[in-house]
A and B are shown apart, each in its own frame.
Chain A
Amino acid sequence: MAEPDYTYVTRDFEVLTGEAARPLVEKTNDRRYLTRDGGIHTVSIDRWKQAQDAERHRWLDLRPHTREDRNMDRAFMFDRYSLLSGRTFENAIELGCGPFTDMAYVAHRCTIKRLTLLDPLIEDLLRHPNCLYRDGALALPTGETLPVAERVALPVEQFQPQLRYDLVVMLNVIERCYNVPVIFRKIWDMTAPGGLVLFHGRYFDHAAVAAEAGRSFDTAHPLKVDRKLVNAFLQRFNGIFFRTVLTRGEIANSDPGEEVYFIGFKPEAA
């Protein structure tokens, strides 16, 4: 296998490659976080804060005019959330909701009685000109609004929920976290028996992560979790929708490589 090219993604989301990237990557990379066979699933709080700073910078400074974060793309990948049609949820939460949320499209399909939005940057994201929940209610694509009962400005890892949720949504988030095993346990614990989990993330292979670890650095995305970890998490649920998407070539609105889109129930007996 040819060695991967040097790649350095800056705080400004500029992608440097080749000799321009090499000295930067040799000085700064995430190789020390590489696990034995799980890719990179845990980093230090300091490294995570650096990633969060880039994320805040992206939305508030670089992209104040943006109105979406590929939320519609994910809605189509989830078959327009058709499996949620007609369902009612007492307590729903989106983890890592960003300024626009995926819940806006999810809620378009179902009834949500009490909504919690969690994002460590959520109080900053309220200042984004197009934040969809800045007035205390989430604006849905239909023009209706859904009250936001609670905003939680914490990383998922530090969240201590006071109740259980019958709908947990976490899409395209785990690359921005600092401890995925803790997150997977938190999601399991916060999901009510019989509750639904919607999960989407990239599917990395440990060998590829290991090969790139000393040759790439992505400021905003420290984690690259091997698929075995992701699959072990998903297998705890009773899956009702499982889609893998492998993409290569000219891409502008999605990621290259493999992704997984999953909907599953937590077993009633759990």
Chain B
Amino acid sequence: MAEPEYTYVTRDFEVVTGEAAKAVVEKTNDKHFLTPDGGIHTVTVDRWKLAQDAERHHWLDLRPHMREDRNMDHAYMYDRYAMLGGKTFENAIELGCGPFTNMHVLGQVCHIKRLTLLDPLIEDYLTHPNCLYRDGSLMVSSGQPLPVDERVALPIEQFEPKQSYDLVVMLNVIEHCYDVPLIFQKIWDMTAPGGLVFFHDRYFDHAQVVAEADRTYDAAHPLKVDRKLIDGFIARFEEVFFRYITTLGHAEFSGIGDQVYFVGRKPGPA
């Protein structure tokens, strides 16, 4: 296998490669967070804060005119959320909701009685011109507002839920976190028996992460979690929907590499 090229993704999301990247990556990389066989699944809170700063900068300074974060792409990858058709949820939460949420698409096909949105940057996102929940309700794709009962401005790792949820949604989030094993445990604990979990993310291979660890640095995405960890997490649920996507070539919106889209039910009576 050829050695991967040096790549440095700046706080401004500029992708620098080759010799220009080499000097910077040799000085700053996430190799010290590499685990023996799980990719990079945990980083320090300081490293995470750097990533969150880049994320805030991305939405508020670099992309104030954006109206979506590939939310419709995710909806189509999830078969238009058809498996939710007609269902009612008492307590739903989206973890790492960003300024637009995926819940605004998903909320179109099911009935949500009480909605919680969590994102460590959620209070900052309220200042994004196109934030979909800035007025206290989430603007669902159908045009109907869905009241947001609670906004939680915490990382998932620090969230101590007071209740369990029968719908938990976390799409395209774990690369932005700092402790994935803890997050997986939190999700399991916060999901009510019989509740549904929607999980999507990239499916890394440890060997690939090792090969790239001292040749790449991505300011906003410190974590690259080996698929075994993800498989171990989703195997705890009863599978409702599973889609595994592999992409080679160029994909502007949906990205290359491997990704997983999963819906699972926590065992137990609803």
List chain A positions with a Cβ less than 8 A from chain B.
72-73, 76-77, 79-80, 82-83, 239-254, 263
Contacts and interface: CB of A to CB of B under 8 A. Distances in A.
B197 to A, nearest CB: 13
Contacts, number: 84
Given A82-B251, A239-B248, A242-B247, A76 B72 contact: yes
A252 B85 contact: yes
B240 A250 contact: yes
Interface stretch (B23-31, B76-84, B153-161): B76-84
B82 to A, nearest CB: 4
B85 A240 contact: no
A201 to B, nearest CB: 16
A243 B254 CA distance: 11
B233 interface: no
Given A76-B72, A244-B245, A250-B240, 4 more contacts: A80-B252, A249-B239, A250-B263, A252-B80
Given A252-B85, A253-B79, A80 B240 contact: no
B250 A83 contact: yes
A82 B252 contact: yes
A73 B76 contact: yes
A78 to B, nearest CB: 9
A217 to B, nearest CB: 26
A254 B83 CA distance: 12
Closest 9 CB pairs of A and B: A252-B82, A76-B76, A82-B252, A249-B241, A241-B249, A79-B251, A250-B83, A242-B248, A246-B244
B135 interface: no
B113 interface: no
A246 B240 CA distance: 14
Given A73-B80, A76-B76, A252-B80, A245 B243 contact: yes
Given A76-B72, A249-B263, A242 B82 contact: no
B142 to A, nearest CB: 17
B231 interface: no
B253 A82 contact: yes
A83 B251 CA distance: 8
Interface string B71-105: 01100110110110100000000000000000000
Contact of B243 (A73, A246, A252): A246
A125 B77 CA distance: 29
A73 B244 CA distance: 16
B255 to A, nearest CB: 9
Contacts of A72: 76
Contacts of B240: 249-250
A60 B240 CA distance: 34
14 contacts: A73-B80, A79-B251, A82-B250, A239-B249, A240-B249, A243-B246, A246-B245, A247-B242, A247-B243, A249-B83, A250-B83, A252-B80, A253-B82, A254-B79
Nearest to B247: A243
B79 A242 contact: no
A75 to B, nearest CB: 8
Interface in B219-270: 239-254, 263
A249 B262 CA distance: 10
B250 A241 contact: yes
A240 B250 contact: yes
A153 B252 CA distance: 36
Given A79-B252, A240-B250, A245 B82 contact: no
A213 to B, nearest CB: 26
A82 B79 CA distance: 20
Contact of B246 (A79, A82, A240, A244): A244
B84 to A, nearest CB: 10
A253 B77 CA distance: 10
Interface centre among A73, A79, A82, A252 (most CB of B within 10 A): A79
Contacts of B245: 243-246
Contacts of B85: 252
Contacts of B72: 76
Contacts of B239: 248-249
A254 B241 CA distance: 12
Nearest to B262: A249
Contacts of A79: 247, 251-254
Contacts of A254: 79
A76 B254 CA distance: 9
A197 to B, nearest CB: 14
Nearest to A246: B244
A77 B249 CA distance: 13
